[in-house]
Structure 1
């Protein structure tokens, strides 16, 4: 029996047409809610499927998203045909200009990085990229290198400390 219902042609128009007819037929200026639209369709059209409420809900959602219907305070209204189309979220794309000039042939791709400075053709060639400039103080530039570490015994002899090493802990005298 289910196969007979699937193959049988429907005796009602598509849901968007029925919804538009219901909203226009109800004629409420604030719009019509889903239950009022459903009752109107059930009374006006014959041969509705058993899942009528599901198909009605899906059609209402699709029509609302596409802009055919407006949804306000749980009521559905027909969109004014003279109203401008609803714009999506975000900034609209820039219009593409159609130029009548032929496109210039593309040259080789630009190299990466900053372009080199223009060199003076009359200047004598230098061997190094940057000439050394002597500083006025006579000291070399930058941080001086670290001194090499010396062994503990060698350091003690260099400091002039001799004798037995001190015992660990306690700092006071024992009596």
Structure 2
């Protein structure tokens, strides 16, 4: 029985404790990366469990999320309680103003045009007012082409209307139907 107690490997301290002791012992100015932390733990504690790398990554991520460690430029360091929080990339978000939210008290208007009030009196009809220029509104009507030309000849020009052909593609000509008698 005494031999079993002697050959039993010593128990390892918890991973967060090992990680913090590794960062303190390495004492790098910009923090320590994952490989240097792993090498220090392996050299100090010797035999480690077979899933050491995944356990180390898991505990480093958990400590980063809880705020025990700060992850900056691929290095882990202890959080300084007096230091301001580091800002990430990009433009910082606008501060949320509680007064601006209190102003929005009216319900949102529905989409579309509001319905007409059935009890409202009808609007008076406005009389049409002439523009004053004496010309009708819109595009002027097309005038017929004058006959004759500069030379003053009296020959008339043939237009499309004179030939009986209209504008555009002519309609397809269908062959006449022939009657077929079927005897039984």
Compute the TM-score of the two structures, normalised by the length of structure 1. 0.49
